[in-house]
Structure 1
C-alpha cells in the first residue's frame, strides 16, 4: 500500500511533458490574438514615448536595422503603433533579401490540422505581402519515431517538385526550409477544399449544375496535364487535396506521395505487401485508388491520377464516394460492379468475381422504350440495380457526354484509359473553351526530354575549382570513385549516384569547403539522393545517417551528416531535380531502341564522365548524345533516328564534335591508366565488360543525329 501511495504521489509531483510550440504559435509572435490572463484584460501603463512622435518613415528606417527575431519578439511589444509598423510589408520585403527564416516571415493565426507524424498546418499571414498563406510545420524527430534522421522522402519530394511547378491550377510554393529539427513549407492559402465544396453543393437544397461540374473537372484536368507534362505522378489526389479559391479556381495540393517518372518506368513504392498495408491504413485512400494499384502492380504511370479524377467527378455529382470499400478486396468488388469484370487485363480467375459484364454508361439514360435501354437494364437489374440508379441520377446532371468521359476515366485497363490531355478535348469539356497553359505532348519520352532540357541552363554548376583553394581535380575524382563504390555497396540505382554527383558540384559552386569536409559533403549528397530518388521506406524508422556515417569508417558522426544535409538542402533551396547524363541517356535509349550491349557501354562511359571535372562544362543532354553515339560506333550498331531528330535538344555540329572528343579523351585516359587510384571502383563495377580492354572506336560524325 505504501508503494502504491508513493507511486501515486510521484505521479502528482511529476512534471508534465512540455508540449512543442512553434515560435509563430507563441503569443509574442501573434500578439493580436493573445488570450486574456485570468479573465482580465492586459493593460499597459500610459507613458510618453519620444520615439512615437517620430515620423513613420523614420521609425521604419530604424526598425530595418533590427533582425526579424527582434521585430517579432521585442519591437512589436512596445506599443500598438510599433506593432503595426513592425508588421509593415515594406519592412519585411527588405528583410526577405537577407534570407531570414520562414518561421519569422509568417504570422500564424489558426491551427487547422494537427497530426503527430505529419506536423501542424496553420493559416497565417505572410508579412512581406500581407497575404494569407498556409504554413506546415513538421518535426523531424517526431515523424521518424523519435530519431532525427534528416528530411524524409515525402517532404524532400514535395518541396522539390513544388519548386519546379508554376501553374494557376497547382498550389504555389512560397518557401520551404529546414531549421533545426523542423521543416517549414509555406504555400498560398485557399478558402475551401473539394471535400467542403461537395458537402455544400450536393445538399438537397443546392444541387450542383452541369456547368459547375464541367468547370471544376476541366480545371482539374488542366492542372493534372501540367503536372504530368513535368513528369510527375501525383498518386494522392482526393477531395482534401484539391483546393478551391473564393473565385472558383481549382488548385492541386499535397505532393507528399508524388513521384517523378523514370524512363523506362521502374518500380515505384510501396511494393512490399507489409509496406502497402501500412501506407493504406487510411481507408479513405482506398476509395480513389486505381485497380492496378489494388492488384499490387509496381510499374504504373500517370493513368492512376486519371482514375482518381473519375472517382472525384462522380463524388462531385452525387456527394458520395463511388467506391467506398473498407479493404482492397471489397474495393475491387465495388469497382467491378460498376465497370464490369475485365477478362484479360488482370490475373483474375473465373470464379473470383461474379460474371458482371461491362456496360456503356451513356446507355442508362437512353429512352426507356429503346432497345439500348432494355439491354443495359437487363445487364444491371436486379443484381446491380443500385449502380443503374446512380448512373441515371448522374446522367440527369452531366448527360451522355459526361457519362462517356466518366467511363473513359474509370476504364479498368490502364493502357486504354484516357489521358489528361485527351480528356480536355473530350466533348464534355471542350465546350468550356479550355485555356491550356502548357503544351500538350503526344509522346511521353519527348516530353520527359524537354522538361529535363529546360532545367539544364538553371542548374548547371559553375567553374568552382577556381574558388576552392583546398580542393583539386584529383581530390574530386577520388571522392567520386569512392562514391561509386558506396553506390554498389548500398545497391542504389545509377540515377541516384548521378544525382549525388550533381548535388556535390552545385554545392561546391556555392560554398567554400575545407578538404577535411569534402568527404562529408560527398556522403551527405549521396544520402540526400538516396532518400529523394530511391523507393521510399518512410513508413519504417529510418537510420540512414547512421549507415552513411559508418561507411566513412566513422570519420564523421550521424549528427554531422544530418547537420550537413540540412545546410545543403537550404543552400540548394530543395531543388533536387537535377538533369543528369543518365536521365537523358535512358530517355534516348528508350526513344531509339538501343540494344543492351551498346547501352551497357554507354552506362560505363556515363559513370566515367562523372570522374572528369571538365564534364561539368558540357550540358548533360549533349554529353548523353555524344556517349550514345560513341557507344553505337564501338558496337557498330547504329540506330534509326531520322524520324526522331525533332525530339533531341538542338546543338551545332561543332558542339557535338567537341563533346564526342571530350568523351574519347576521358576514355583514352582511363584505358592508358587502368591502375590509377580514381578508377578502381568503376572498373570493378563494370568488370562484366572488362573496361581495361576497351578502346575508343574510329568516329564518323556523318552517321549521327547532328549531321
Structure 2
C-alpha cells in the first residue's frame, strides 16, 4: 500500500485533516466543496471570493472571515452578522446560504484554527461600482425600481426591529436580473423601541448605542451631533443619500470631516431649528454650535 496522500502528508495527518467527524462543524460545508474563481474584493473584516458550488454549479460569494487576533477568538462583528442573517428571510436582503470551513492541511501549517467562510448568493454588481462606471446612467424607471426594492427590504428590517447602521451604495448589491439586496450586516443591531414619527429629530430611542456607525457621507445630522439613543431614522437618511446619488451619479454629501459634513447638510437642507429638527440644541454635539442662517437649496439642486 502506498504511503502517499493527495496533499503529500502522512496518512494519519491526512485522515485527521480530511476525515473529521461531521459533528466538528455541524451544518457547515468544506471549502473543498467550492471551486474558487477569483477574488472580488477585501475589507476590514474579510475578503470576498467568487466561487462555484461543485455539486450544483451554483455561483456564490464566499466571504473569508479574517482573524486579526486569533487569541481573542472568533470576531464578534462576524458572529453578530451571521446570527442576524440566519434570522432574516426577504427577497431584498442578502441571505446566508452556507458556512464553509477550511482546515489546516499540513503539519507545517502554522495556522492552528480553521478558516471560516460565509456563502451568499453571487450578485453581479454593487450600486457604488455601477455609479462609478461612466457608461452607466440610470433612467428614472430604474431608479424607482431600485428604490422600491430598497425600501421594501428596509421596512422588513425595521419591522424585525433591526438597525442596519451602514446604509450606503456600496452595501447595496444588484444582479443582472435587476434584483437589489441589502448586504453587509456587520454593524447591524437589534433595536428597542418604536419607529419615530415623521418630523421628529431623533425619535423615542430607549437605549444608548455607539455613535461610531454609518459611513460619514451617509451619516445623519443627529449622529454627527453625537446622539446615542438613535432610531431606524438613521437608516432612512442613508436611503435619501442613496437616492440623491443615483440621480446625480455621485455622492451628494461628500464631507471631508464631521464638521464639514454638517455644513454640507445645512447648505442643502437649511439650518437646524425647532421646526425642522426639534430638540437639536439638546444634542451633546450642539453645545457650542451657532450655524449661520441658511434656507437650504434642496429643490433647486434636484430640479430637472
Q: Could you say which TM-score interval applies, normalised by the shorter chain?
A: 0.7 to 0.9
**Which is bigger in relative contact order (C-alpha 8 A, separation at least 6)?**
2
Consecutive unaligned residues of structure 2, counting only runs of 5 or more, are 1-6, 8-14, 20-25, 104-112, 194-204
RMSD: 2.8
Structure with higher helix content = 1
Residue 209 of structure 2 corresponds to which residue in structure 1? 268
Larger Rg: 1
- Does the CA contact (< 8 Å) of 2:29 and 2:99 recur in 1? no
The Cα shift of 1:206 comes to: 5.6
2:269 corresponds in structure 1 to 339
Structure 2 residue 292 is the aligned partner of structure 1 residue 354 = yes
Query: Any residues of structure 2 matched to 1:383-462 within 5 Å, and which?
Result: 388=300, 390-392=301-303, 396=304
1:195 aligns with 2:128: yes
Q: 2:34 aligns with which of 90, 106, 115?
A: 106
DSSP 3-state at the match of 1:287? helix
Task: Find the counterpart in structure 1 of residue 10 from structure 2.
Answer: none
Does the alignment pair 1:134 with 2:41? no
Q: How does 1:509-520 map to 2 (within 5 A)?
A: none
Q: TM-score, normalised by structure 2?
A: 0.76
TM-score by length of 1: 0.34
CA distance in 2, matches of 1:197, 1:157: 29
After superposition, what is the alpha-carbon deviation per residue over 1:464-496, rounded to whole angstroms, capped at 9, x for unaligned? Answer: xxxxxxxxxxxxxxxxxxxxxxxxxxxxxxxxx
Shift in CA distance, 221/324, structure 1 to aligned 2, threshold 3 Å: same
Separation in structure 2 between the aligned mates of residue 161 and residue 100 of structure 1, nearest angstrom: 17
1:312 aligns with 2:236: no
Report Cα offsets for 1:658-679 as digits up to 9, x if no partner: xxxxxxxxxxxxxxxxxxxxxx
Does 1:221 pair with 2:151? yes
Q: Give the C-alpha shift of residue 183 in structure 1.
A: 2.8
Change (3 A) 1:350 1:119: closer
1:303 to 220, 226, 233: 233
Count of aligned pairs between the two proteins: 258
Q: Shift of the alpha carbon at 1:168?
A: 1.1
Contact 1:102 1:175 in 2 (8 A): no
Q: CA deviation at 1:128?
A: 3.1
Conserved 8 A contact 1:68-1:104: no
> Partners in 2 of 1:243 and 1:209 — Cα distance?
18
Q: Which residue of the partner structure matches residue 125 of structure 1?
A: 52
Residues 296 and 176 of structure 1, relative CA distance in 2, 3 Å threshold: farther
In 2, Cα distance between equivalents of 1:134 and 1:206: 24
SS at match of 2:177: coil
Q: Give the equivalent residue in structure 1 for 2:175.
A: 245
Q: CA deviation at 1:262?
A: 2.3
Change in 2 beyond 3 A, CA 1:126/1:337: same
Query: Counterpart in 2 of 1:210?
Result: 140
